[in-house]
Amino acid sequence: MNYKLEICANSVASCIEAQKGGAYRVELCAAVPEGGTTPSYGDIAVARELLDIKLNVIIRPRSGDFLYSALEQKIMLKDIEMARQLGVDGVVIGCLTADGEVDMERNRELIDAAGGMSVTFHRAFDMCRNPFDSLEKIISLGCQRVLTSGQRQQAEQGIPLLKELVQQAGNRIIIMPGSGINMHNIATIARETGAREFHLSARRPVESAMIYRNPNIRMGGNAVVVEEYEQQVTQSELVRHTMAALENPNNFWI
């Protein structure tokens, strides 16, 4: 069925594991627990050096909403310029108005800056007031795909809307379900929605090698719950198992 997996990679290590596992593309992000922000120059440069598969980079200057100031727009334009110079394949964007509409002016400026790079409209879409009208606006902007959970917390819950969006999109744009997708539900989501590209993390915790651990300090404070002595890293075998479950659901078992 020509399925493609995009791995949400939170580090260069995750990028490498995604490639080993047979992913078609990675989306490199920083601050994944906050919804993803633009990764560092070093992360992008080293990922591009080590990857043969497609490399997309999220362009998002901060966590929170998707209503950006002129200053934040300037930052995003500079980040797109950096990404283009480093040779990434695509950028992942999404700007909204205060009324929950697609911000045509800001998005168009970012897309123009991307030049020939692929453009994905990220899950800002899930915060839009009207998904069907918003999809038409995103198509008119010339984006290649929309990453969406069907405006629900997880894609499996958003199957009804995802199916409608796939039908509305036709061959004009790719609808790529994401959020909470794994080897156990991906075949169902594919069958029920008709989607052909999927976005997932395929991560597991990796224990820190630190021996001394100060129990009195948390770098994120009390407001941010982060396991500071482990890292979440994409695992190649999870990527392989997910693709196997997608391509051969009747013969797959774990």
Whole-model pTM over 0.75: yes
Mean pLDDT of all residues in the chain? 95
Dihedral of the alpha carbons of 151, 153, 156, 157, in degrees to the nearest 10: -70
DSSP state of 184: T
Query: Per-residue pLDDT averaged across 80-85, rounded?
Result: 98
Q: What is the mean pLDDT of residues 99-117?
A: 97
Helix (H, G, I), strand (E, B) or coil at 66: coil
CA 41, 42, 43, 49 torsion-angle sign? positive
Instruction: Evaluate whether 196 touches 177 at the Cβ level (below 8 Å).
Output: no
What integer pLDDT is reported at residue 225 of this predicted model? 67
List C-alpha distances in Å: 172 to 151, 163, 216, 223. Answer: 20, 15, 54, 42
Average pLDDT over residues 19-38: 96
Residue 35 pLDDT exceeds 70: yes
Distance CA 188, CA 52 (A): 30
pLDDT tens-digit series, residues 83-107:
999 999 999 999 999 999 999 999 9
Neighbour-count burial of 145, counting CB atoms closer than 10 A to its CB (0-12 exposed, 13-18 middle, 19+ buried): buried
Nearest to 243 by CA among 18, 41, 23: 23
If you search the block for the tokens 């909204």, which residue do you land on? 96
Looking at residue 227, its pLDDT comes to 81
At residue 217 the predicted structure's pLDDT band, cuts being 50, 70 and 90, is confident
Within 10 angstroms of residue 206's Cβ, the number of other Cβ atoms is 12
User: Which pLDDT score is estimated for 221?
Assistant: 67
Q: 3-class SS at 25?
A: strand
In degrees to the nearest 10, what's the CA dihedral of 153, 159, 162, 166? Answer: 160
- Rounded CA separation 141/106 (Å): 11
Q: pLDDT digit string (tens) for 145-183?
A: 999 999 999 999 999 999 999 999 999 999 999 999 999
pLDDT in tens, 222-248: 666 678 899 999 999 999 999 999 998
In this predicted structure, the answer to whether residue 253 has a pLDDT above a threshold of 70 is: no
Answer yes or no: is pLDDT of 23 > 80.
yes
Contact 66, 102 (CB under 8 A): no
Q: Quick check: 247 and 7 in contact, CB under 8 A?
A: no
In this prediction, residue 252 has a pLDDT band, given cuts at 50, 70 and 90, of: low
Q: Which whole-number Å values give the CA distances from 70 to 31, 59, 86, 106, 163, in the listed order?
A: 22, 15, 25, 9, 36
Report pLDDT for 77. Answer: 98
Q: Would you state the pLDDT for residue 1?
A: 67
pLDDT of residue 250: 76
